[in-house]
Amino acid sequence: MYQFEEQEKKQLCDEIAYFFKEEYDLDLGIIGTGTILEFFQEILGDRIYNKALDDAKKFYEKYADNMETDYYALYKEIR
């Protein structure tokens, strides 16, 4: 599992704390926000990663299709 750098983790925990305060009027401490971050990272991390790979694959497949079309567009007519 990916390990966030300390600054990243602190920023994410701050955002989690802000969300819970705004949405539910709950004050979460460092332990609470860290636990929530780890929970969602464990539950969603691999799914998001795999989705990103699938999206990248679709992009490169489309790019390759366009490349083949462009390749043949460059052909010179032989008389």
pLDDT values of the chain reduced to their tens digit, one per residue, 79 residues: 788 999 999 999 999 999 999 999 999 999 999 999 999 999 999 999 999 999 999 999 888 888 878 888 888 788 8
* Structural domain of 25: 6-73
How many domains does the chain contain in total? 1
What pTM, to 2 d.p., does this model score? Answer: 0.67
Q: Could you tell me if residue 54 is inside a domain?
A: yes
Q: Could you tell me if residue 45 is inside a domain?
A: yes
Residue-level pLDDT at 2: 81
Interatomic CA distance for residues 79 and 77, integer angstroms: 6
Residue-level pLDDT at 25: 97
- Cβ burial, residue 33 (10 Å; 0-12/13-18/19+): buried
Q: Could you tell me if residue 79 is inside a domain?
A: no
